[in-house]
Structure 1
Amino acid sequence: MHWDYATPFTLPRVPEAADIDGLNHTNNAVYVRWCEQIGWAHSEALGLSLEDYRRLDRAMAIRRGEYDYILPTVEGEALTLATWLVGGDGKLAMERRFQLVRNSDGATVLRGRWDLVCIDIAAGKPRRMPPEFLEAYMPAIVG
């Protein structure tokens, strides 16, 4: 598959009947849910879980999300969703990208990006990333 960046973190996805909307293709909201799922799976693979976020009272919150819906997908179609961290200032902000590819022909069907900001969970306000975040996330950033 042709990926937008090297070394993607990937998850296989197959739209089910409940994912299909009135136009007989995968509903856009399903892609957003899948992006959330792979974002968490990638974070956990890097060593930071939801429990770690709670323990540290810090989280990477989505400040902005953008999705480009390029091609439709249908029930039962084998897809691969990829994600990367592509930028980070080492203080407050990071950027995560997504690419969803149809396995049968390698066509990209979706691209997405999140601008993330580190917040203090209890206060809901921006705070610097703790050392645990820097140690897990910064080495994973691809260019």
Structure 2
Amino acid sequence: MAAGRRGVSRFTLSITAQDADIDELGHVNNAVWVQWIQAIATAHWEAVAPAEHKLAYVWVVTRHEIDYRGSVVAGETVVGETWVEGAPKGARFDRHVRFLSDDGRVKLEAVTTWALLDRGTGRLMRVREDVAAPFYPPRNGEGDRDA
């Protein structure tokens, strides 16, 4: 699968900051943002992957690159969106994540790298096209897929 060969299919998730998410500066703690990044990525996989893939594979984070653009306070809701662009690189896949305020301002942007593991052996696996396909919209002529 070549980079740019498929379009981008976005997945969204709303999250409201709770009192426990707030640090001594009065806004969402950086470690909480990392938890939210993982939560939206996991929810995307759960929403689009076939049951047999969920049983056979597990994703683990190998890298986060995060740009904090604004603060969020307790009670504030952000909409996270995530998508995968381009082709996997062996066992690794880059995922883009963005969190937006109600007025559309970007609060955080990130690129995270995830690696695919065989759930039974714990070994790295090359991301095959059938595993990657649910993250992309269907190509012309392919059947509809929830993505």
Smaller-chain TM-score range? Answer: 0.7 to 0.9
- Paired with 1:123 and 1:6, the residues of 2 have a C-alpha distance of 31
Identity %: 29
Q: Is the 1:8–1:83 Cα contact (8 Å) retained in structure 2?
A: yes
User: Which letter does structure 1 place at the counterpart of 2:14?
Assistant: P
Return the alpha-carbon distance in structure 1 between the equivalents of residues 112 and 19 of structure 2.
Answer: 28
Residue of structure 2 in register with 1:119 after alignment: 117
Structure 2 unpaired stretches of 5+: 1-6, 139-147
Root-mean-square deviation (CA, aligned residues, Å) is 2.6
Q: Kindly report which structure 2 residues correspond to 1:24-103, keeping only aligned pairs within 5 A, or say none.
A: 24-48=26-50, 52-53=53-54, 55-56=55-56, 58-89=57-88, 91-103=90-102
Seen in structure 2, the aligned counterparts of structure 1 residues 18 and 94 have a Cα distance that, compared at 3 Å, is same
Which amino acid counterpart does residue 110 of structure 1 have in structure 2? Answer: L
- Kept in 2: contact 1:85–1:140 (CA 8 A): no
- Kindly tell me: are residues 134 and 110 of structure 1, through their superposed partners in 2, closer, same or farther at Cα, counting changes over 3 Å? closer
Relative to 1, partners in 2 of residues 1:129 and 1:6: Cα closer, same or farther, differing over 3 Å? closer
Aligned counterparts of 2:129 and 2:48: Cα–Cα separation in 1: 14
Per-residue deviation at 1:41?
1.0
**Residues 88 and 7 of structure 1: is their aligned pair in 2 closer, same or farther, counting only changes over 3 Å?**
closer
Deviation at 1:136, TM superposition (A): 2.5
SS in structure 1 of the partner of residue 86 of structure 2? strand
In structure 2, the residue corresponding to 1:33 is in which secondary structure?
helix
Count of paired positions = 132
Q: 1:107 is matched by which residue type in structure 2?
A: R
SS at match of 2:44: helix
Task: Indicate the SS of the match to 2:85.
Answer: strand
**Structure 1 length as normaliser, TM-score?**
0.77
Matched residue type, 1:124: G
Shift of 1:131: 6.1
